[in-house]
Structure 1
Amino acid sequence: MQKEELWEYTLQPQDNGKKYQDILAHKFHFSRKLLQSLKQGEHAWINGKFTYLTARGQAGDLLSVQLLGEEPANIPGEQLPLDILFEDDYLLIVNKPPGQVVHPNHRYPTGTLGNAVVGYWQAKETPHRFRPIHRIDRNTSGIVVIAKSRFAHQQLAYQLEHNLIHKHYLGFVQGCVLEGQGKMDQTIALTPGSFIQRTVSPDGLPALTYYQVLYRYPEATLMRFMLSTGRTHQIRVHCQALGHPLLGDDLYGGQLELIQRQALHSYHYAFQHPATGENISIYAPWPKDLIELVSKLKTLKATSNS
């Protein structure tokens, strides 16, 4: 096993006498399922020698765990364009174009981001399962983070669950939003009689979106959204409830004159690297249609937020 394929940790004084599996579970949030898979075969070593995870360690010991490895693809690969923002042994982060579904489904069985990612890995002869940390709507553009291993996926899923991943979106909404910043914390539920549309409802799940006005145009406002929860269509529903639906979002009352899809872009993600703990900050360039939207809006006399 090559060194770069191993996750390593030097035990500290507070780890004395603890089982390796307990250190991995409590300090590094290894899931029970991942620990169980590590117990099947030789996947852990102490100071270069095989060890059982139920053994107890001493300060200074070097614990090495095999976490990476090739896996059979779980969906068909296709040779499609892929805008890669970041890649290493653990993660692939891409800038998804508008109009592309993240994962294949019965309605969109091919041409998805998942097909493109698997095809990219197959071309490199390094197969992995497609494990997106999150999904964004078909007509929302921007960042999608994909884990290359079960370990990376469960580490980032832990961060997502504990609100440790900071997700920022840019969106253009109809009208002039007067408040420079604020929050929208209405609960969201499925609209009765619909399988797709959501609505603000007292019977819904908690949803919290922070916003900041970046620029005001005569008939639209550029806003930054910071998500504290990840409900389906959260920003879109909250904007409609605010009285300022996203431009192009006809499902939630947005007008289609200037753009033919919701003017929403996932542009910034910040989190800790699943293996190293390093702070990662990723930005996604704007797609062509949002750049064109800005040009259209600038044909009107704009005033900046002051």
Structure 2
Amino acid sequence: MPGKLKTAEGEERLSAALAWLETSLGAPSKLIRKLQAEDGIKLAGDRLRLRIFPPRVSQYTPYWHELTVLYEDEFCLVVHKPAGVKVHPDGAGQEATLVNMVAALYAERGEQAAPGHIHRLDEYTSGPVLFAKNEYAQLKLDEAMSRKSIGRTYIAFVHGIVSRDLKVIDKPIGRDRHHSQRRRVSPTGKPAITRVELLETYPAASLVRLTLETGRTHQIRVHLADAGHPLIGDKLYGGKTDELPFQALHGERLIFPHPLMGDDIQVDDPTPPVWDRLKKRLAGLS
């Protein structure tokens, strides 16, 4: 009820409420300006009313496919992305991407919302993907992403026995001028830091947990390959595909600050069934 705030001499109640929005609530100034221009801020007695849930039209064609919802409220949606599904179209006209599936989910419910993804995963990396359900959430979560306030933890099966002394990989990553799709460790690249925790070992492989402090393209894949432990199935970076035809990389956990309340939301994503089968083969049990 910011309408009860004390105002300075000569200050209007609405001006005081707008200042409260930006300083106390942390509302993005860009959104405040837009709401002012569209008459979306009103004082009703002592209460402040904001039009932050206007209908939004999705730019993506709905594609109906079963989705696993890991977390949802009025501001955020987190869904599991299976391996082999792109997060969004890349210009080739695909409609079977994650954003198309989320658009279909909203359409099926009759929700006038547009799927705004906050981060991406590689096509063949499974795990949780965070979506904003309104513009307020989009701006706040984009800010959190730029501040590196969104934590992402992954697990991966890699070739070889990883040393317990390998805890941090701090090497810059840049483009590989000899291969348009690859990245590589390069002195002239952008800073990249990956934290490594050894979980299990097998006769010729290891299971590791990886935490990103930066978000470079293919960061985990590049860093582990450079350390001599390419991901199983990652042909692009030297991994063998006899056990799995794509990289054995899964987003285990996502932690993000709630766009309105500010408290941390933790979302865990269980490993897909193919991981259990791979684990048995690596252990020589099947």
CA-to-partner distance for each residue in 1:40-71, whole Å, 9 max, x for gaps? 2332233x25xxxxxxxxxxx64342211320
- Counterpart for residue 292 of structure 1: 277
Structure 1 position 270, deviation (Å): 1.3
Task: Call closer, same or farther: CA 1:204–1:216 in 2, change over 3 Å.
Answer: same
- Counterpart for residue 176 of structure 1: 161
SS of equivalent residue, structure 1 residue 129? coil
- Counterpart for residue 182 of structure 2: 197
Q: Is contact 2:76-2:137 (8 Å) kept? A: yes
**Identity of paired residues, percent?**
32
Between 1:271-280 and 1:221-230, the stretch displaced more is 271-280
- Counterpart for residue 254 of structure 2: 269
Q: Does 1:43 align with 2:40?
A: yes
CA-to-partner distance for each residue in 1:69-91, whole Å, 9 max, x for gaps? 32011111111121111111111
Q: Does 1:145 align with 2:142?
A: no
Structure 1 position 26, deviation (Å): 4.2
Q: Is contact 2:2-2:17 (8 Å) kept? A: no
Task: Call closer, same or farther: CA 1:124–1:177 in 2, change over 3 Å.
Answer: same
Between 1:133-142 and 1:15-24, the stretch displaced more is 15-24
Q: Is contact 1:133-1:145 (8 Å) kept? A: yes
Structure 1 length normalisation: TM-score?
0.85
Give the superposed CA RMSD: 2.4
Q: Which runs of 5+ in 1 are unaligned?
A: 1-7, 50-60, 302-306
- Counterpart for residue 78 of structure 2: 93
* Matched letter for residue 35 of structure 1: I
Q: Is contact 1:29-1:158 (8 Å) kept? A: no
Q: Is contact 1:207-1:228 (8 Å) kept? A: yes
SS of equivalent residue, structure 2 residue 187? coil
Task: Call closer, same or farther: CA 1:108–1:300 in 2, change over 3 Å.
Answer: farther
Q: Is contact 2:2-2:20 (8 Å) kept? A: no
- Counterpart for residue 59 of structure 2: 74
Task: Call closer, same or farther: CA 1:186–1:138 in 2, change over 3 Å.
Answer: same
Structure 2 length normalisation: TM-score?
0.91
Q: Is contact 1:96-1:144 (8 Å) kept? A: yes
SS of equivalent residue, structure 1 residue 157? helix
CA distance, structure 2, for counterparts of residue 11 and residue 287 of structure 1 = 51
CA distance, structure 1, for counterparts of residue 42 and residue 4 of structure 2 = 13
Q: Does 1:240 align with 2:225?
A: yes
Q: Is contact 1:180-1:212 (8 Å) kept? A: no
SS of equivalent residue, structure 1 residue 39? helix
Between 1:111-120 and 1:269-278, the stretch displaced more is 269-278
Of the candidates 102, 106, 112, which is equivalent to residue 121 of structure 1?
Answer: 106
- Counterpart for residue 58 of structure 1: none
Structure 1 position 31, deviation (Å): 3.2
- Counterpart for residue 136 of structure 1: 121
Task: Call closer, same or farther: CA 1:22–1:189 in 2, change over 3 Å.
Answer: farther
Task: Call closer, same or farther: CA 1:122–1:218 in 2, change over 3 Å.
Answer: same
Q: Is contact 2:203-2:283 (8 Å) kept? A: no
CA distance, structure 2, for counterparts of residue 296 and residue 80 of structure 1 = 30
Structure 1 position 264, deviation (Å): 0.3
CA distance, structure 2, for counterparts of residue 12 and residue 204 of structure 1 = 50
CA-to-partner distance for each residue in 1:272-291, whole Å, 9 max, x for gaps? 21112232110011112212
Q: Does 1:249 align with 2:234?
A: yes
CA distance, structure 1, for counterparts of residue 170 and residue 17 of structure 2 = 42
- Counterpart for residue 31 of structure 1: 28
CA distance, structure 1, for counterparts of residue 166 and residue 179 of structure 2 = 32
- Counterpart for residue 229 of structure 1: 214
CA distance, structure 2, for counterparts of residue 15 and residue 277 of structure 1 = 28
